[in-house]
Homo-oligomer: A and B are copies of this chain.
Amino acid sequence: MSSPRPTLVAVAELAGVSIASASRALNGMTASPRTVERVRRAARELNYIPDATARSLKLGHTLQLAFAVDDVGNPVYVEMMRAIESVVSAGGYRLQVSSTGADTSETADLVRSLSRGYADGLIISPLRIDDALVKELTQAPVPVVVIGKLPEGASLDTVMTDSRAGVGLAVKHLLGSGRRRIGFINGPLDTTPGKSRSEGFDEAMLANGIERIAGDVEIAADFTSEAGTEAARELLGRHLDSGPLDAVVAANDLLAVGTIHEALRCGLRVPEDLAVVGMDDTSLAELFNPGLTSVSLGSAERGREAARLLLERLTEPGRGASRVVVDPFLVVRGSSAPAHGGDL
């Protein structure tokens, strides 16, 4: 621990060979069995660990890939991560995950630092995307694939889903099972998902001939369950007077679960008094009590596709930007079961 770390020269010396031979022996290149044996022994004896930095500098790659997300606490990212990890490691790479703040400049920062030297490629799923970030990503010295919707004209590998349509699925389901007055708890509108889902909700209401009522939408401070509880307190509180909501669509599972939490606290029964539908269909949805009906946005599949895209670009840098889109679908669970004696 205190002695200077052994380098290749120490190993070579101990083995009585040149450092070139030592390197070859260790890396399985052409070398006599005898040399290999002696070098191996020397390396073990010295507890030699090759310096990855030096190796990467010489080789020009690190065999590491990075996945950057805004909030590791969100299970949707965990699911993506698992999917990414499995394809990436099959491709011989190791995965590092980093958590950026919500700030785009912080994200851009991370991209810069990661992309030059510490990783051979990057998958990023940012909540907020501005032009500066797109520029940074496009100019990054290593391939970047983004999970999420990009501004028009950005030429980057990307995998996205149609969360607008996803919200539509939720609304249609609720209407179809007898709900009449649907509230919407969204995340911040300056985020990409927040924006799409907002449009999706308006669209769905319109399509179903329902008048949008201003007070039926509440914007949470972020995509966490705490913010969901907070927002639900507002939304539900407002409706104590103005007439009852009988359903809420939440922009993700965390918000949905926060909403249920608050609804129960208010003495509302879920789903009897209030149906709740989330989005992302994370493990949380399955686990929760009651089970949370949720719109799957194919997080695992998006992760898998993103990883595939990245690997492909790594081996074939020249080709044009790909764009894959994963369709949403609804997973029905207890939180949106039809109200018992439907009052229609």
Q: Which residues of A contact B (CB under 8 A)?
A: 1-2, 5, 47, 49-57, 62, 64, 72-73, 75, 78, 81-82, 85, 94-99, 110, 112-113, 115-118, 138-139, 141, 225, 257-258, 260-261, 264, 283, 287-290, 317-318
Contact = CB atoms under 8 A, between A and B. Distances in A.
Contacts of A75: 73
Main secondary structure of the interface of A (DSSP, over half): helix
Interface centre among A55, A81, A116, A260 (most CB of B within 10 A): A116
B49 A141 contact: yes
A117 B53 contact: yes
| Number of this chain's copies in the complex | 2
A96 B98 contact: yes
Contacts of A94: 98, 110, 113
Nearest to A155: B1
A260 to B, nearest CB: 7
A52 B118 contact: yes
28 contacts: A49-B112, A49-B115, A49-B116, A49-B141, A50-B116, A51-B57, A52-B113, A52-B117, A53-B56, A53-B57, A53-B62, A53-B118, A55-B117, A62-B118, A64-B118, A72-B82, A73-B78, A73-B283, A94-B98, A95-B98, A95-B99, A96-B96, A96-B97, A97-B98, A225-B283, A261-B289, A288-B288, A289-B289
A95 B101 CA distance: 12
A49 B311 CA distance: 23
Contacts of A317: 2
Contacts of A96: 96-98
A6 to B, nearest CB: 9
Nearest to A261: B287
